[in-house]
Amino acid sequence: MISILQAIILGLIQGLTELFPISSLGHSVVLPSILGWNIHQNDSYFLTFLIATHLATATVLFIFFFNDWKKILSGIIRTLKQREVKKEDTYARIGWLLVIGTVPAGIIGLLFQDSIRKLFASAQIAAGFLVINGFILLGAEQLRKRAARKKEIQSDDHLAHLSPTQAIYIGAAQSLALLPGISRSGSSMAGGLLAGLNNEDAARFSFLLATPVIGAAALLKLPEIFSSSYASLRLPMLVGAACAAAAAYVSVSFLMRFFRSNTLRPFALYCLLAGASASLYLLTK
């Protein structure tokens, strides 16, 4: 159903484009159609393959930010014991903000999963959303310029002082990534910039927020990954997941340095060009 070569390519693409703000789902839906692969993107086997690569990406994010997650999880446990979230408990506040931020994507994903799944059948729709993602990133770049004029506090305290409402807005922005072609990291970074974070902090909060969202969605489908009906897909899933993990580690390492001093503009231009080119190509097929 998916060859080893296809699994390698799709895994590498997923690991790179999940964290780069250029939409992994958009590329995973568009690329097979452009390359002429005999893959039906809305079939359960293809979605299960993508879930395996997403689980690998979430695992890499957890490992990369492991020291942060130790402090965050300890903070959450501490508040459950104390039955309060103290204002000065930075990591507990960040932890509960991340919990709040996962709610919109969880609710929207559960309510509209069947409708969203139908969009995976159309590479043309995914290409169109990729163009829209480019405009979202250009809008986020304007927010970045506005935030750059403010006093920057590049610290955990900056994240901890987001309000619950702002966390919901960032989570709601991230839920746009359920649409193939809209970037999870790009949309949540836009939400973070709108909330007043600087570029680096917005990226960090985006990657922290992505970990439980991607991981939880993948874990819910874990029984399918190991079911006997997908036995023939097991090796391609393993290969694809390994490639996604390697690409994701390289991506997050690069991006955490990149966003210290660079902008979203190159990614926006890429999405506009790639989405428009793919759309025109698919129309002429």
- Angle, in degrees to the nearest 10, between helices 44-64 and 24-35: 140
Between CA 186 and CA 267 the distance in angstroms is: 9
DSSP characters for 254-279? HHHHHTTT--SHHHHHHHHHHHHHHH
pLDDT (tens digit per residue) in 104-150: 877 887 776 666 666 666 888 889 999 999 999 998 888 766 655 55
Provide CB contacts within 8 A for 198, sequence distance 6+: 144, 147, 148, 152, 154, 158
pLDDT, position 151 = 47
pLDDT tens-digit series, residues 15-60? 999 889 999 888 888 888 888 888 777 677 888 888 889 889 989 9
Coil vs helix vs strand at 86: coil
| pLDDT for position 194 | 85
| Four-CA torsion 241, 242, 243, 247, nearest 10 degrees | 100
Rounded CA-CA distance 220/149 in Å is 42
Question: What global pTM score does this model have?
Answer: 0.84
Largest CA distance in the chain: 63
Kindly tell me if the per-residue pLDDT of 245 is higher than 70: yes
- Which residues neighbour 58 within 8 Å (Cβ) at sequence distance 6 or greater? 210, 211, 214, 215, 218
